[in-house]
Amino acid sequence: MHQEHTFNKIAVVLDTGALLAKYYRLLPRTRVDIFTTNSAVTEVRDLENKRALLEAIELEVIRVLDPEDRYVSTVLIVAKNIGSLSKLSQTDVQIAALALMLRGKYNNVVVITDDYELQNLLLSLKISFKPLRTRGITCLTIYSVYCPLCLYTPSNPGETACPFCGIPLVRRRLS
Ligand SMILES: [Zn+2]
């Protein structure tokens, strides 16, 4: 692994949908290290997206890393406990496990995903996440603190500002 100082950086983990949206082109790389898993890379099949993705990997814009088994085991236990195991893909589990593994190295780890089951799992694992699309989200009721602009949802309820937008997070009153 690289030796640079990562404490002030955010680790962003992209799921397959985020790779397809080329979300890695939108992130400020001075503040963000971008990761994904081999399973997500494999799911990108169309030629144009695959070519762009492989180029980004070659240029080290994206680091492809697979989680160690013990993190996968933890994720599987939590998924089973919340009754999501059958609804999660193998890639969902890998993505969550990678985020868990990176949490020991980074101050903040954020998974970019529109997948509701994965978001729910991340909430249970206390891992921050951010959807790609900010419109059409129907499950906002599960979030208590979020960025009103990009829907970044922190794992730590004490966070006050969005690390992507810099604006204050809002707190939803739970009815
Ligand atoms: Zn934001």
| 130 Cα to the center of ligand 1, angstroms | 8
pLDDT tens-digit series, residues 30-79: 889 999 999 999 999 999 999 999 999 999 999 999 999 999 999 999 99
Residues with Cβ–ion distance below 5 A, ligand 1: 147, 149-150, 152, 162, 164-165
Report if pTM > 0.85: yes
Q: Helix H segments across 33-86?
A: 38-43, 47-58, 69-81
What the block records as the tokens of 60 is 């080290």
| 154 Cα to the center of ligand 1, angstroms | 10
Question: Does residue 107 register a pLDDT over 90?
Answer: no
Q: Is beta strand 145-146 parallel, antiparallel or unpaired with respect to 170-171?
A: antiparallel
Q: Where are the beta strands (DSSP E) in the chain?
A: 10-14, 32-36, 62-64, 108-112, 128-130, 145-146, 170-171
pLDDT tens-digit series, residues 117-174: 999 999 999 999 999 876 545 554 556 788 988 889 998 878 999 999 999 999 876 5
Contact 145, 128 (CB under 8 A): no
pLDDT number for residue 82 = 92
pLDDT number for residue 134 = 66
Domains of the chain: 10-144 (3.40.50.1010)
| 169 Cα to the center of ligand 1, angstroms | 8
| 69 Cα to the center of ligand 1, angstroms | 32
pLDDT number for residue 112 = 96
Token pair 């990562």: residue: 6
The secondary structure of the chain in percent helix, strand, coil, rounded to multiples of 5, reads 40, 15, 45
Token pair 């059409």: residue: 136
Contact 84, 29 (CB under 8 A): no
Q: Is beta strand 108-112 parallel, antiparallel or unpaired with respect to 10-14?
A: parallel
